[in-house]
Amino acid sequence: MYKLVLIRHGESTWNLENRFTGWTDVELTPTGVAQATMAGKLLKDAGFDFDIAYTSMLKRAIHTLWYVLDEMERSWLAIGKHWRLNERHYGALQGLDKSETAKKYGDEQVLIWRRSYDTPPPALEASDSRCERSDRRYERLSPDDIPLTECLKDTVERVMPFWNEVLAPSIKSGKRVVVSAHGNSIRALVKYLDNISDKDIVGLNIPNGIPLVYELDESLKPIRHYYLGDAEAAEAAAAAVAKQGKA
């Protein structure tokens, strides 16, 4: 049996301000740092250890991983950073207040933009100063790989090559893998792993900074999954994420 640990980054400044974030590179808050440190402690106390870590190109996930590994005394571990693990691109909503947006367009429309499987939020213009196409960290990508908006389906399509080419082979080779990523890039992975329908994925929310453990069989099919620590607290934190898009 293999184990894979997924961690959504700790609370970010824009989580705290309740703004759509996507590919915007915002920092952890002190609460986010405490959540990441606690995630490391939970993992260490439960006897977890890792051989390799992966994260996105965004500092809220990178720093979360640093705090987790530091707490586990594994700061020396190899870390792979990849844009395919970035948060779902939120298009022209990036930077807007979620509940103000719900007041303007209605809770239902915001739920569609936040959680529908195949309806993307309005796209950014490539000329918009928020567009990441001129960001040096993505200079090796073709501009077309850098989204102007994404629905979860698009995120699944960009995350899956990373699963197939990096994560799955790494796990199958016997490496113990931890991934620090984002609410929607993790939802994309979970949708694939648990074969969740396009309809049911709408109701799935991932809390900040709580390790999500997958036990996988020889062919990497999930046997079971669970949040480390207090299961009720994890459920309450996921329910709070669901409410963020209400007026």
Ligand X SMILES: O=C(O)[C@@H](CO)OP(=O)(O)O
Residues classed as catalytic: 9, 87
Record the tokens describing residue 214, joined without a space.
Answer: 């997958």
Out of 120, 184, 204, 207, the residue judged to bind ligand X by CB under 6 A: 184
Closest distance of CB 76 from ligand X, Å: 30
Q: Which of 40, 67, 74 lies closest to 210 in space, CA to CA? A: 40
Question: Rounded to an integer, what distance in angstroms lies between the CA atom of residue 73 and that of residue 69?
Answer: 6
55, amino acid identity: T
CB of 129 to ligand X, least distance (A): 18
Closest CB to ligand X belongs to which residue?
Answer: 21
**Residue 106 counted as an annotated binding residue:** no
- For residue 174, give every residue at least 6 positions away whose Cβ sits within 8 Å of its Cβ, in sequence order, or none: none
Neighbouring residues of 175: CB distance < 8 A, sequence distance ≥ 6: 51, 52
Q: How far is the CB of 170 from ligand X (least distance, A)?
A: 25
Q: Which of 20, 50, 162, 227 binds ligand X (CB under 6 A)?
A: 20
Return the residues of window 84-103 that contact ligand X according to CB under 6 A. 87, 90
On whether 114 is known to bind a ligand per the annotation, the reply is yes
**For 186, which DSSP code?**
H
Nearer to ligand X among residue 181 and residue 213 (C-beta): 181
Torsion of CA 189, 190, 192, 196, to 10 degrees: -150
* Residues 207, 222 contacting (CB under 8 angstroms): no
Q: How many CB atoms lie within 10 A of CB 211?
A: 23
Place of tokens 């894979």: 4
Select the residue interacting with ligand X from 183, 207, 209, 211 (CB under 6 A).
Answer: 183
Q: Is 150 in the site for ligand X (CB under 6 A)?
A: no
Question: Is 153 annotated as belonging to a binding site?
Answer: no
Stretch that binds ligand X, among 16-24, 29-37, 193-201, 232-240 (CB under 6 A): 16-24
Q: Is 185 among the residues that bind ligand X (CB under 6 A)? A: no
Report the interface residues with ligand X, using CB under 6 A.
Answer: 15, 20-22, 87, 90, 114, 183-184, 241, 244-245
